[in-house]
Amino acid sequence: MAPVTTVAQVFDALQGAKAGASAFCTNFFPAHAKVQGWIDHGELLGELRDLSAFFLRKDRDFWHLYFCAANVAALQREVSAIPSLRTERVAVDLVGSEAVLGELLKVVESAGFQRYARLLRLARPNQSGQPQPSADGTEVLCADKTDCQAITDLLECAFDRYADQLPMLYEIEAAIEAHQILAVKCDRALAALLFFESQGFTSTIRYWAVAERFRSHRFGSALMRHYLAAQSAVRRFVLWVTADNENAVLKYRHYGYAPDGLVDHVLVNEMIRA
């Protein structure tokens, strides 16, 4: 695969695969700014193939695979013929409703990938009677640039790099700049964080975590209450959570989140499993 140097290359490739597609299939839903960030940091490779296009995005010590194809037959034929999928560590996400993902799962599994994790999207309407910020005196702050390493460490410790799309350092810096990482600190140490992205009327929680040694202090609750209370203009709250993380799912349900029907199957290749 060759480095992608412009966002237009990505969208041209997508359009090429879509044109005249009988049953277009993809796992790539690119937002312009996100793709630009990947290109600026040299993270994105791409390859046009017959009736299809494939992209690999570098993430730490592995790659995320994205594809678009005119139909499932083209995907099956071409994905099996990409040499780097046998020599590199690669993970792939398949997103959609469970009912429509069956065929894609079979295709990707036939190319050597195995199921690794399943995530659910949860959504929460902005209800009346918003939670109020915690009254127990816990101070919730916006993280600052001195917190970057601690944020990275906490995310690496609390989440799964293959399943949870952990942010790169530049994404953490941008989120701090945008005041989208809330933090609780104890003696200047990062005890807990809530990392979110808001766009218009929708806000997405990307990560919510409490460092192990600071659990049972209700810091997570303080962060969530602060976050929900502060997003007064938001009408829809969403997030992704690992389906078998019952503790997390229960906590999100407590705050009014519920599955909205979208799932994300994460599969990894033999190089990761080895």
Partner 1 sequence: MKALPEILKEIRPEFDFTVSSDFIADGMLDSFDLMTLVATLDKTYGISIQGTDIVPENFKNLQTIGALLRQCGVQA
**Using rule CB under 8 A, residue 273 touches partner 1:** no
- Taking every pair of Cα atoms in the chain, the longest distance, rounded to a whole number of angstroms, is 60
Q: Which of 5, 29, 102, 189 binds partner 1 (CB under 8 A)?
A: 29
Residue environment code for 27-47, b if the CB has 16+ CB neighbours within 10 A, otherwise e: bbebeeeebebbbeeebbbbb
Nearer to partner 1, 25 or 193 (CB): 25
Nearer to partner 1, 134 or 204 (CB): 204
Nearer to partner 1, 127 or 132 (CB): 127
Q: What are phi and psi of 181, to 5 degrees?
A: -125, 110
Tokens matching residue 183 = 């933090």
**Using rule CB under 8 A, residue 198 touches partner 1:** yes
CB of 67 to partner 1, least distance (A): 14
**Using rule CB under 8 A, residue 142 touches partner 1:** no
Q: Which of 1, 7, 21, 48 binds partner 1 (CB under 8 A)?
A: 21
**Using rule CB under 8 A, residue 42 touches partner 1:** no
Q: Which of 2, 145, 199, 216 binds partner 1 (CB under 8 A)?
A: 199
Nearer to partner 1, 87 or 127 (CB): 127
CB of 214 to partner 1, least distance (A): 32
**Using rule CB under 8 A, residue 10 touches partner 1:** no
**Using rule CB under 8 A, residue 236 touches partner 1:** yes
CB of 124 to partner 1, least distance (A): 10
**Using rule CB under 8 A, residue 126 touches partner 1:** yes
Segment contacting partner 1 (CB under 8 A): 29-37, 139-147, 187-195, 249-257?
A: 29-37
Task: Quote helix, strand, coil % in the chain, to nearest 5.
Answer: 35, 35, 30
Instruction: Name which of 10, 63, 226 is nearest 134 in CA terms.
Output: 226
**Using rule CB under 8 A, residue 24 touches partner 1:** yes
**Using rule CB under 8 A, residue 18 touches partner 1:** yes
Within 8 A by CB and 6+ apart from 252, the residues are 122, 124, 239, 241
Segment contacting partner 1 (CB under 8 A): 172-180, 210-218, 222-230, 233-241?
A: 233-241
Within 8 A by CB and 6+ apart from 188, the residues are none
**Using rule CB under 8 A, residue 17 touches partner 1:** yes
**Using rule CB under 8 A, residue 202 touches partner 1:** yes
Q: Is 48 exposed, middle or buried (0-12, 13-18, 19+ CB in 10 A)?
A: middle
Which secondary structure element, helix H or strand E, spans residue 238, and what is its range?
strand 236-242
Is 1 in contact with 56 (CB distance < 8 Å)? yes
Is 131 in contact with 218 (CB distance < 8 Å)? no
CA atoms within 13 A on the CB side of 59: 22
Residues at the interface with partner 1 (CB under 8 A): 11, 15, 17-21, 24, 29-31, 95-96, 125-126, 198-203, 234-236, 262
